[in-house]
Chains A and B, each alone.
Chain A
């Protein structure tokens, strides 16, 4: 689905393709999630990394991009680096470069990414703290308010947006979605869904405003954003959050 002439949401996958930059964009991978859960006594099968690889491959088969921008929260744990995350991160970089032929890798450091600075040189990736401006596209993780100036398009992660929709029989569907629309200053805004397999997602059309991001609120009015939902093999526009909120008060 084309969001505008420059930006495409690749069908059925939480990844954007930005044509002028020849770049794939995705966010919130949370590599090593299972390792951290295991430390807490939950022995999850290791699925996250495999699924992420599969999705990026699908996107690259479609887009043939030369760059990728990962918009924060590449790994899961806050404080310490797990070998597991390190290995998966290593493998991912190698996979992107060697198997998918993506030459330029840019990582935005999110709130969970303390260690990746050290890997910048050895792995040959570019690491940016919280945000980076490329042409007129501003990529920022979204945990901290971005510094704004020249950009026309803002692309954010961190939120893990999804919407909940109830069918006529009262059955709830939770769908991951891109949120797209305008900022308060009338610039383009896109919020990326999380890539992480285990991410539950934040139901933006049913949680109260206070639980949503204050960073987002300072930039845009969430009710005006549209939800582009990741469905089976396609991405469908479900309308504005405002409408979806109203819809939840009456079952379809």
Chain B
């Protein structure tokens, strides 16, 4: 059972659970216990599974390791400490060495130094992809007592029979940064590794999870603990010390009137604001949302304010390991004025003292905001100081609500992906390398992992059939089969001499991105990267968005794309995939609620006379009495207050309606060139839900009008783009149909033919070992594979809907990328009227739809009747050619 532990133990109870040596060293070197330590020392030493969440700097790692070191110390004193691994510490961080030194090696050395300089006997070793061959050999001969590793390296270790012998005495597994694992396939992968490990050594170990803020926290505990039998969860205590750190937060609008200010002005003000914050502080950490954003900020700070390369630096996943370590080191030594990062510094890498964290643009989640801001403040007792600088009008409200939610402790929720078949494929191959299995034994082990507890027999058998190559003829299975599977006996095992190598070289959950670098033709300035699939859609002169700016496509050479700055105001081709993470549902609802409340207040403050309206367009309006009541209670600056007020006032005056969480505004309008009809749904529920809703409406519209429909989606709503007008009657009927449709099968039928499906399928195919990135020692890059996702997908569909790679692609799209259950719920509410709607006509898009129309991401719903579609296309080509001839 999962239990919350809310009453801390006393200091004496906690300390007396440590060995005398460890206790006296701890008391000498630490001023006292941090909040998590009041729980963890005792609970871990009693052998409980435990999940601890607390902010960075709260002595989290030590709270887990004191008890473990203490137990090893007892063994040493009894003379029973052997050259065996007693503890595995797993972290999702790639460059672990630095951290391990600070958090583990150093305390251990100090501990031994305090024992009159005794020789250190408890050993620590690191095992990652970077560990050298000789080091690995050494670890095999003399295993470290504490092994520090990554999820991927662990998956390899459990397939090493010789190393497994060293793991038989394992007592503890520590999973660090659990918030970075529980919500994705990487964590799912780890959960299976842990169950396999338990099975291989034939006993349970104590599981300790460490993480930052997480909600719902019991879900994370279930993920950590898993099941001890078919029906019974393992026990696990939860210690939540999340809210112990104080915060000082402010959302800043760079200009007084973000709606009317030019892009250039906003940009200038953003940078001068950043500069003034950097100047005020010793060390500032800036988070952007994308890698290209990081590069842009560095570039601008250097150019505008003459910062040197010794004073500011970028830190992101695409930099080399050396470069990243260099930056971390400079930060720790206090040499940098400022570091800029996308996500890589969000995790618990040790970076020394940060005075201030700036977030540029919305972090899209309350949890992420807390984590990022939590990187500031010298110690656990200090106040974390952070600002969000908003970048555009939609950001404005979103960011204001994010910090407001932090203040009110309203966290957004995460979910654990369930029954991911691609990850399962990898582990089944790994299991078959360990030994011969019966189907029932294997499935029993797999179902102990929380993400697979409800795995169906049929899905598991489909995986076995796939992996044994049953989708091709007998004579080809020699090449296709990774395992053998005896259907009659219900047994399976390893097959083929290359299988072990395939497993080692291809395991993991992070797909290879087929990124194409984008440069300017003049000056060859690197601007960022786009997906290969997106490049294949670009024609010369197409205008597209990259990192919030517009560029004109010129030409491409291999994996490089050349562009020039675009003069036009809108893209001719919208982006297909966003680099950005989706807005969380909980946050979306909070923003929707705010819209509802604030709209009422703003309405009372609006003067509909001419003077007010003319003032509005100059951006000189100030929030009125009612509006101020709401805005003054929020952690936002004065610019933000007046910008929010004028944003709402403009929408009210122009469109009369403000959408909210219980009211969807549907706006019929035209694009700038008046070429297409736009139907804008202001449904602020986050992209995961809008993705499902928009496709549902697009499919209905396509069938109603017999045309192809393209759409644009973002967190705040979606747009249907059509050649013909979708009239109000059609729209009302579509909403009426929401009560009768089966959204899941409708979507499944449709996403078959979309870009999203092609892209996700390729990722799933790679994770399922259908496309090997590395085979027989040959590394194959995606661009060299010479086969399009399109034909790969079409061919796999021929096998049938239960082919695991296809099934997983649908699952990932419907459950992970989209949020089908909630989308269904919103569709149902829209149908029943619980969520009301209003259809309006506007000449040009209303203020609330500008960002969506210009910068959302897109996909297409093709006509179901392909024959008719091609005939229409043919007709248009012929007409167009005739026109051209005239």
* B539 interfacial by beta-carbon distance below 8 Å: yes
User: How far is it, in angstroms, between the C-alpha of A165 and the C-alpha of B479 when the chains are bound?
Assistant: 39
Task: Report A189 CB to chain B, min CB distance, Å.
Answer: 21
Q: Render A82-109 as a binary contact track against B, CB cut-off 8 A, 1 for contact.
A: 0110010000000000000000000000
Name the prevailing secondary structure of the B interface residues.
Answer: mixed
Q: A41-B778, A43-B771 are in contact. Are A171 and B860 (CB under 8 A)?
A: yes
User: How far is it, in angstroms, between the C-alpha of A87 and the C-alpha of B772 when the chains are bound?
Assistant: 26
Stretch at the interface among A56-64, A117-125, A243-251: A243-251
Docked-complex contact B780 and A41, CB < 8 angstroms = yes
Docked-complex contact A45 and B471, CB < 8 angstroms = yes
User: How far is it, in angstroms, between the C-alpha of A44 and the C-alpha of B798 when the chains are bound?
Assistant: 11
For B877, give its contact among A34, A83, A84, A244 (CB under 8 Å). Answer: A244
Docked-complex contact B799 and A35, CB < 8 angstroms = no
Docked-complex contact A43 and B770, CB < 8 angstroms = yes
Most chain B CB within a 10 A radius of its CB, from A169, A238, A239, A248: A169
Docked-complex contact B867 and A232, CB < 8 angstroms = yes
Residues of B with C-beta under 8 A to A42:
770-772, 785, 787, 792
Docked-complex contact B476 and A238, CB < 8 angstroms = no
Docked-complex contact A169 and B860, CB < 8 angstroms = yes
Docked-complex contact A169 and B785, CB < 8 angstroms = no
* B475 interfacial by beta-carbon distance below 8 Å: yes
* A137 interfacial by beta-carbon distance below 8 Å: no
Q: Render A22-62 as a binary contact track against B, CB cut-off 8 A, 1 for contact.
A: 00000000000011011111111111000000000000000
Residues of A with C-beta under 8 A to B796:
45
* B708 interfacial by beta-carbon distance below 8 Å: yes
Give the number of residues in A that approach B within 8 Å (Cβ atoms): 46
Residues B830-886 near A (CB distance < 8 A): 860, 862, 866-867, 870-871, 873-874, 876-878, 880-881, 884
User: How far is it, in angstroms, between the C-alpha of A233 and the C-alpha of B871 when the chains are bound?
Assistant: 11
Task: Report A104 CB to chain B, min CB distance, Å.
Answer: 29
Q: A47-B795, A231-B871 are in contact. Are A170 and B573 (CB under 8 A)?
A: yes
* A2 interfacial by beta-carbon distance below 8 Å: no
* B788 interfacial by beta-carbon distance below 8 Å: yes
For A198, give its contact among B778, B787, B799 (CB under 8 Å). Answer: B787
Docked-complex contact A169 and B877, CB < 8 angstroms = no
* A200 interfacial by beta-carbon distance below 8 Å: yes
Residues of B with C-beta under 8 A to A47:
795, 798
Residues of B with C-beta under 8 A to A234:
867
* B721 interfacial by beta-carbon distance below 8 Å: yes
* B480 interfacial by beta-carbon distance below 8 Å: yes
Q: Render B538-578 as a binary contact track against A, CB cut-off 8 A, 1 for contact.
A: 01010000000000000000000000000000001100000
* A6 interfacial by beta-carbon distance below 8 Å: no
Q: A167-B708, A173-B870, A247-B880 are in contact. Are A46 and B787 (CB under 8 A)?
A: no
* B472 interfacial by beta-carbon distance below 8 Å: yes
Residues of B with C-beta under 8 A to A206:
539
Give the number of residues in B that approach A within 8 Å (Cβ atoms): 53
Docked-complex contact A41 and B476, CB < 8 angstroms = no
Docked-complex contact B791 and A84, CB < 8 angstroms = no
User: How far is it, in angstroms, between the C-alpha of A83 and the C-alpha of B478 when the chains are bound?
Assistant: 13
User: How far is it, in angstroms, between the C-alpha of A244 and the C-alpha of B708 when the chains are bound?
Assistant: 21
Docked-complex contact B791 and A38, CB < 8 angstroms = no
Residues of B with C-beta under 8 A to A244:
877
Docked-complex contact B867 and A169, CB < 8 angstroms = no
Task: Report A62 CB to chain B, min CB distance, Å.
Answer: 18
Residues of A with C-beta under 8 A to B657:
none
* B676 interfacial by beta-carbon distance below 8 Å: yes
For A252, give its contact among B475, B572, B791, B877 (CB under 8 Å). Answer: B877
User: How far is it, in angstroms, between the C-alpha of A236 and the C-alpha of B870 when the chains are bound?
Assistant: 9
Docked-complex contact B878 and A239, CB < 8 angstroms = yes
Residues of A with C-beta under 8 A to B271:
none
Residues of A with C-beta under 8 A to B795:
44-45, 47, 197-198
Docked-complex contact A173 and B873, CB < 8 angstroms = yes
* A19 interfacial by beta-carbon distance below 8 Å: no
* A168 interfacial by beta-carbon distance below 8 Å: yes
Residues of A with C-beta under 8 A to B871:
231, 236
Extra contacts, 4 of them, besides A35-B476, A46-B476, A171-B708 (Cβ < 8 A), are A41-B780, A231-B871, A236-B870, A251-B572
Q: Please report A residues at the B interface, Cβ cutoff 8 Å.
A: 34-35, 37-47, 83-84, 87, 165-173, 175, 197-198, 200, 206, 229, 231-234, 236, 238-239, 243-244, 246-249, 251-252
Q: Please report B residues at the A interface, Cβ cutoff 8 Å.
A: 469, 471-473, 475-476, 479-480, 537, 539, 541, 572-573, 675-676, 708-710, 721, 723, 769-776, 778, 780, 785, 787-788, 791-792, 795-796, 798-799, 860, 862, 866-867, 870-871, 873-874, 876-878, 880-881, 884
